[in-house]
Amino acid sequence: MADAASEPWGALLPEGGRVTLFALRGDDLETRDLARAADAESVAGIDPARLVTLDNSARAAPPAEILPKGLRSLGALQQAGPAALLTAEARVLIAGALTAAPDWDGILLIPEPEVTHWVHVSAREVVSFQGAATGRLARAFGAKAGEADTGALDDTMSRPERLAVHLNAAALTGDHSALWGHLLGAELAATRAYWLGQGVRIIGDAEPYAAALAAQGVMAEAVPRAGAWRAGLRALGAAAGFTG
């Protein structure tokens, strides 16, 4: 009889009317696009009892365990003040980033195309978080990815009331580094309580955040996103009791 820990299991992510299956057996990870969750057994041979759903429609308030034991569904976290949403996928990334040091206390920074998440973790819990729409704004102004002008960053951090004027001028001149500098300056000013005097780790592309934080004397550690995702899925399987 096969060891249960060696049997395949999976995580399901419903979105856009389809379901993404992350199928795991040992260290092997395969991603499948399914029409429905019920197809996981026929397509990947996974017992429905060995599936965890990443359900962003379910919402809980922080503080909350990153990955509760015995879970069969992992929802998003929703915070009222300031209003912010942390997806189930972000919780998996957080668990993966903390695999080597699960009791680490500090700030995890997760840059996404639309929103950058600043997450305070302590004692294996998400304590609080804040989201910034910097990526969304940068795209709206046509700013291409690249370095952030440190002068623009410092100017907006010290005089955030001039942000709209600076963005207009940078957009007219096509100065993408200035656009990023001003936007990141506004974000760092708004999230000062999350990085000042804190240990910071960035999950995913470190730039331009690592350089912006370094200009403020904060040296952030970069955590590769793919590695954090894979490690987070393994931690999810362990929390569900599917693996050792």
List pLDDT tens digits, range 76-114.
999 998 899 999 999 999 999 999 999 999 999 999 999
Per residue of the chain (244 residues), what is the pLDDT tens digit? Answer: 455 667 999 999 999 899 999 999 988 999 999 999 999 999 899 999 999 999 999 999 999 999 999 999 999 999 998 899 999 999 999 999 999 999 999 999 999 999 999 999 999 999 999 999 999 999 999 988 888 999 999 999 999 999 999 999 999 999 999 999 999 999 999 999 999 999 999 999 999 999 999 999 999 999 999 999 999 999 999 999 999 7
Question: Which class does domain 89-238 fall in?
Answer: alpha beta
So where are the chain's domains?
89-238
Q: pTM for the complete prediction?
A: 0.94
Could you check whether the bond before residue 63 is cis, i.e. omega within 30 degrees of 0? yes
Distances (CA, A) of 167 to 82, 132, 135, 192: 24, 16, 14, 21
